Structure 1
Amino acid sequence: MKTSLFRTAQALGRLRSALCLPLFLPLCLPFAFALTLAVSGEARAGDFDKDGVDDLMDDCPTDPGRPEFSGCRGAHLPGATTTVAAKSDRVVVDKKKAIIEIKDNIEFGLGSATIAEKSWPILAAIADQIKALPANKSVLIEGHTDDLGPRSVNVALSRRRAEGIIAHLVRAGVARERLKAAGFGPDRPIVPNDSDQARAKNRRVEFHIVDAR
């Protein structure tokens, strides 16, 4: 009975997501209210798979997953084409350089600190690497931008992006005290900002392994 109820809640939740697209926005709030009334209090307050995601918000309510993947393991994420496991070989700890090297850039919205959904599996793999580090190590997350726009705006943006990554990693289970944020804007380019391709390289996030304090 419980499983049937949760499957019903899952189906209704997906319908809720579809109705909340801009085209159907006028139907979104009434449907969300009706959904709250239609599902029993047990399901509304429940977490059947004990993964920390309420069943009404869980896209995989009978299968434990990650909060950043709406309660799924990653492969079930709507629109996802890459699992966390497939990204793990793209995230490597370089002990000599004391960095967590990522083969794919973490992407954000234009002029925004919002992390692109396609980068979530990369961050999940980074979280696993950080959790595997010795207890006396922390990670300094540095945000960098290109030279377009006012320096002060870029410095602030790069800092917000680093802090946004910290928030994402904490939700993935990394202890907050192991993470630090810094934003350098355009001040530390790795190549001259003389082309679009070069600027794309300079827009980056770096993960430096440092001693915990």
Structure 2
Amino acid sequence: MTFEDFQIQFHDYPFFEGENLSKLENEKEKSAPRFRVEEEGSAITIFQEIGESIEEKTISIYGDNLIDLKIEQRYSTNLSINDEGPHCDLKDWKTYSSEWKPIKELVNESIHISFLFNNPKKLKTQKYNEEERKKFHSVSIKELKREVYYECGYDWLIRIKDLESINDYRCSIGISGYFLRITAKRKSDGKEIVHLININSPLGC
């Protein structure tokens, strides 16, 4: 995946390995794409499918003109209402967002040297435990039912008419997005650059 100042490679995420943004755009044109990519300014948004995850993936950053390079990661969760298969996702309602945490650099490992850049940095993305995956805001059940009605209709409201808590088996909280923030300074002019990679993850089984 190529930005103006650097290239980022996902080594063990099959749908990105060895690919650049132009190839991903070609993938988006297929009738049944594995993922979609949208680019806007300094941010790229990736829409992945159920079962795909950016967690514990090795990435390399190539960029000779950069100093003070830092990559941070965060995640978001959303609430979904389930009914033995079908589900009502409330991704446009309340969202919990974790704090940004730096990704640690891997050291003393042999890595591929790109012909584009020298001295790449190799890092591994974070993995989240079950407690982290279930973090969410305190919500009013009345407000929740109103949102279910607006988002998914009266039939879904009837299914949760006796709901008293988001800890009910019909409610599930899951990760709906991963975010990578790359910050650095250019050696040539000292300008700080910030780029975001937003990975949209579908809720559900």
Range into which the TM-score falls when normalised by the shorter chain: under 0.3
Give the structure with the higher percent strand: 2
State the TM-score, normalized to the length of structure 2.
Answer: 0.25
Q: TM-score, normalised by structure 1?
A: 0.24
Answer 1 or 2: which has greater helix percent: 1
Q: Which has the higher contact order (CA 8 A, sep 6+)?
A: 2
